[in-house]
Structure 1
Amino acid sequence: MATAQAFIDTPVDADRVWQLIGGFDALPDWLPFIPESALSQGGRVRTLKSVDGDTIIERLLDFNEARRSYSYTILTGPAPVRDYQSTLCVVAQGSGARVQWSGSFVPQGISDAEATALFAGIYEDGLAALKQQLEA
């Protein structure tokens, strides 16, 4: 099993950050490479469309409003991995926040290092876009 993680620190209040990113259907609000999201199965499954036209279907595994975090798994998508599980969380840091995005997965047809680099890049690019939006 391979893992990847990334984080950003922002002077923006943790509750305000969570308001933007905390909804399971909120990716299009802050993640530029996911312009579409639709919920199904009572809000537990989201169907995402990427800017490249790919469809990714993910299931919510855990949602914790008090801890400002949720975890999910990819059911189907173009990524060359299986058993993907990821967590996105916002942690208060003084008057600001740290946003952490991490995941674990089993590479399929690529090395652990390639899979780790793929998801680390997704997390880093996504969080950089979030930071730019929050601090604009």
Structure 2
Amino acid sequence: MKIQRIAAETTTEAAPDAVWALLSDRSTWPSWSPLGSHSGVRPGRDGAPDGLGGIAQFVTGRNCVREEIVEREPPRRLSYALLSGLPLRNYRAVVELTPTGTGTRIRWSASFFPGRPGTGWIYRLVLTRIFRGMVTGLAAAARD
């Protein structure tokens, strides 16, 4: 099976620090994204809920996913890996914030291998739609 790649991006008038404040606090994600409820499972190694190594769970409809923060570069980059909840292997997402004049470009991307042959296209389609909701929701929330 070949690796699948997806991405969505947008630009907001909000400064990178304002975008980072929302992005780096996963408890806010359900308020501005298509995701359902959030719960912290394990804090990061530094004791912060969303620090490096921190694990969170999101429940959206019948899906329950667990994700671990694997990279943090405030206020520019946040990466997480899927631990469970979707039939995907080696799933890793990266959110990059790039200053643009007085605003911020938000790029949310991921790569993964489908768990079963022939299913990559459906996960690309569904996750791209979710990512579009993530970037537009984050951009709007950071502006407010």
C-alpha distance in structure 1 between counterparts of 2:82 and 2:27, whole Å = 14
Structure 2: 5+ residue runs without aligned partners? none
Unaligned runs of 5+ in 1: none
- Contact 2:10 2:139 survives alignment (8 Å): yes
Alignment of 1:1-136 (within 5 A): 1-42=3-44, 43=49, 44-66=53-75, 68-77=76-85, 79-109=86-116, 110-136=118-144
Change (3 A) 1:93 1:51: same
Tell me which amino acid in the other structure corresponds to 2:40.
A
**Structure 1 runs of 4+ with >4 Å offset:** none
Q: TM-score, structure 2 length as denominator? A: 0.80
Which amino acid letter does the alignment assign opposite residue 18 of structure 1?
A: W
One-letter identity of the residue aligned with 2:119: S
- 1:108 Cα deviation after fit: 2.0
TM-score w.r.t. length of structure 1: 0.84
Return the alpha-carbon distance in structure 2 between the equivalents of residues 98 and 34 of structure 1. 25
SS at match of 2:14: coil
CA distance in 2 between partners of 1:80 and 1:121 (Å): 18
Contact kept in structure 1, 2:66 and 2:83, CA below 8 Å: yes
Identity %: 22
Q: Deviations over 1:17-60 (max 9, x none)?
A: 11121235542353242322314053423232323143211111
SS at 1:129's partner residue? helix
How many residue pairs get aligned? The number is: 134
